[in-house]
Amino acid sequence: MSSEQPFSERLVGYFRSTPFISRMIMIICITLYIIGIFVEIPAFKICMIPSLITSSIVNVYRVFTFPFFHGGFLHLLFNMMSFRGMAMSLENIIGSVNMFFLTLIFIVFDGIVGYLLSYGCATILNWDAPYENCLVGFSGVIFGMVVIETKLSKQKTRSIFGFVTVPNKYYPWILLIVLQLLLQSVSFVGHLSGLLVGYLYTFGKFNCLFLSPKNLQRVESKMEKISNSNNFIRGGTATLFQDNAIPDTTDNQPNNVVKRTMKLAPRQSTQKNPKKFAGSGNKLGSLADYHNSQSLELNRIESITSKNLINNSNQDDNNMLGTKYLNSDLFSDPEMPKDNEKN
């Protein structure tokens, strides 16, 4: 007797294991496709046609509609399978709210970059096809996520459909070319625009468009019923890549070695009445204080010093006191701490 689960249960488990935003996007795309089977939805009304946007600004709405519609069942199937594989990992990293904003940003900028590329092809290269064609599908967003996944991957090589192994950093570009050669009906400009948007994200150019951690918590608290649901990923950060800032190389200059060293030196206290160090050693004071407390010893030292000054008149007073008598037992005091002891 087979223990394999029925297809319906596996399908339900398939969607339940998908994070919240990724699941919602898949449901929207599948629902719109099913509706299109029973209700005729003119592709001309919802697809991305750059030339129509040029003729009328009203057609900008197409930027938000064309990713969610697909040209057929296989088109939908391949896109959703590819999307789920990458979106699950990405949403688990950046969180569900950030995943929503990331998808929205990719949709908008995929449309903008796609329009600019198509317009450039028509005006500069006299290639009107991308400018006049009707484009649908989620492929542009998927290619953007391919770039992110490639940047986050620690693998040095990647496999193209299990046939060819290529360097990881070239994987998005080679995949773009291979898909165009195998499926000539796909939009090269549409995929290229998504790929470029993905690189803009990895360069940190969209970081300012995401919520700050404080605002993110505020949004999640206001949508508590949704955020407490299964597979809603709370928290996370969308700024996985920082903008390439010019490094501060001033500390590498020789003149700044002293500045870096001085940072390590202890700073003088600015307190009016600083607390004394509660150590176990003797209290450190001026030399005069010590002489006053050790008057008898000093008298003996002065007597001996005078005799030696007479006998060694050719020697410098400071050198004699510094080299000979400071090293003698005359200055040794059992109560004074040694130089190598910690006070």
| Residues belonging to the active site | 139, 191
- What's the rounded Cα separation, in Å, for the pair 184 and 177? 10
Q: What angle do CA 30, 36, 41 make, to 5 degrees?
A: 130
Nearest CA among 248, 232, 331 for reference residue 290: 331
**Cβ partners under 8 Å of residue 146, min gap 6:** 86, 171, 172, 175, 195, 198
- What's the rounded Cα separation, in Å, for the pair 20 and 95? 9
- The SS3 call for residue 165 is strand
CA distances from 167 to 134, 157, 160, 170, 276 (A): 34, 4, 10, 6, 64
CA distances from 308 to 182, 304, 313, 316 (A): 103, 6, 8, 11
- What's the rounded Cα separation, in Å, for the pair 213 and 263? 32
CA distances from 316 to 241, 246, 295, 323, 326 (A): 68, 59, 25, 11, 14
Q: Provide the token pair at 198.
A: 């993905």
The amino acid occupying position 158 is R
Token look-up 């064309």 returns 66
Q: Do residues 140 and 190 lie in contact, with contact meaning Cβ atoms separated by under 8 Å?
A: yes
- What's the rounded Cα separation, in Å, for the pair 192 and 172? 10
**Cβ partners under 8 Å of residue 153, min gap 6:** 168
Nearest CA among 335, 253, 251, 252 for reference residue 297: 335
Pairing of strands 157-160, 164-167: antiparallel
